[in-house]
């Protein structure tokens, strides 16, 4: 049976474009780039990805900070943590992977807070940090010195690491906590920033309460 040549031309016009589209390299998707959705280290899924910003960009954490800072207030927390800090599951705790060094992230956060007119940070660090020996954690001494310079302008309180984790777990049941995870691989190096009202202080609060028992 003979088919008109025009039929072959029409079929080719339909098939060839689809072949070219199939052969073209696919653009990377968030699922392919995200370590959680990709199932890195044997763990993954949309639930894991939902609490990180790794799908946004290399600086997704800075965008998150800029978007959330205006709506954060007293009783909220911003926490800058080392790479092994646990993923907390209280509903208010948002964990964001920064893929950046802890000192750099901390300085950026403090700079942003310094420009905010509505909140100021109360700074906490792990009580264990001062006792970690250099022999067991090479580089810890240099980190302590660097941290002291970064926090020189702030009063710093210390609490045991487990107590700070428990405090965030409790706070996260009612208030928002922004947890920025960094690449630092040294123990007890996390910095916890409890936000407080920048235009009201404890002295003013006490005077208000004393005048209105």
For 99-124, the DSSP string reads -S-HHHHHHHHHHHHHH-SSEEEEEE
**Is residue 70 assigned to a domain?**
yes
Residue 38 belongs to a domain: no
Distance CA 100, CA 30 (A): 20
- Is 29 domain-assigned? no
Percent of the residues in the chain that have a pLDDT greater than 90, as a whole number: 66
CATH number at residue 117: 3.40.1650.10
CA atoms 68, 78, 59, 27: torsion sign: negative
Cut 0.75: pTM above it: no
Q: Is residue 42 part of a domain?
A: no
End-to-end CA distance of the chain: 103
pLDDT at 206: 85
Question: Which domain range does residue 115 map to?
Answer: 51-211
The DSSP 8-state label assigned to residue 25 in this structure reads: P
Contact status, residue 101 vs residue 210, Cβ threshold 8 Å:
no
186 assigned to some structural domain: yes
Residue 46: HSE in the Cβ half-sphere, 13 Å Cα cutoff: 0
Instruction: Report how many helices (DSSP H) and strands (DSSP E) the chain contains, helices first.
Output: 8, 6
Q: Kindly state the tokens that stand for 64.
A: 């998150």
Mean pLDDT for 160-186 is 98
Q: Is the pLDDT of residue 43 over 50?
A: no
Q: Residue 147 — pLDDT band, cuts 50, 70, 90?
A: very high
Domain count across the chain = 1
Residue 13 in domain: no
Each residue of 117-135: pLDDT tens digit?
999 999 999 999 999 999 9
3-state secondary structure (DSSP) of residue 37: coil
pLDDT digits (tens, 9 = 90+) for 13-38: 444 444 343 443 333 333 333 443 33
The rounded distance, in Å, linking the Cα atoms of 124 and 189 is: 11
Give the C-alpha separation, 87 to 84, whole Å. Answer: 9
Query: Minimum mean pLDDT among 12-21, 80-89, 147-156: which range?
Result: 12-21
Assigned domain for 10 exists: no
Higher pLDDT, 21 or 181: 181
């Amino acid at each position: 049976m003979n088919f008109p040549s025009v039929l072959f031309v029409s079929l080719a016009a339909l098939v060839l474009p689809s072949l070219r589209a199939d052969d073209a390299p696919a653009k990377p998707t968030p699922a392919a780039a995200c370590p959680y959705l990709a199932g890195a280290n044997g763990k993954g899924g949309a639930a894991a990805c939902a609490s990180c910003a790794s799908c946004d960009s290399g600086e997704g954490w800075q965008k998150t900070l800029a978007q959330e800072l205006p709506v954060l207030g007293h009783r909220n927390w911003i926490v800058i943590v080392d790479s092994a800090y646990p993923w907390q599951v209280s509903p208010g705790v948002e964990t964001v992977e920064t893929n950046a060094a802890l000192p750099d992230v901390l300085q950026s956060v403090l700079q942003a807070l310094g420009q905010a007119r509505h909140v100021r940070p109360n700074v906490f660090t792990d009580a264990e940090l001062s006792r970690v020996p250099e022999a067991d954690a090479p580089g810890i001494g240099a980190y302590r010195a660097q941290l002291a310079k970064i926090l020189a302008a702030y009063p710093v309180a210390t609490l045991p690491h487990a107590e700070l984790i428990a405090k965030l777990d409790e706070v996260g049941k009612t208030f928002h906590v922004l947890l920025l995870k960094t690449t630092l691989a040294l123990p007890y190096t996390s910095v916890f920033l409890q936000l407080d009202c920048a235009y009201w202080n404890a002295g003013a609060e006490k005077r208000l309460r004393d005048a209105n028992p």
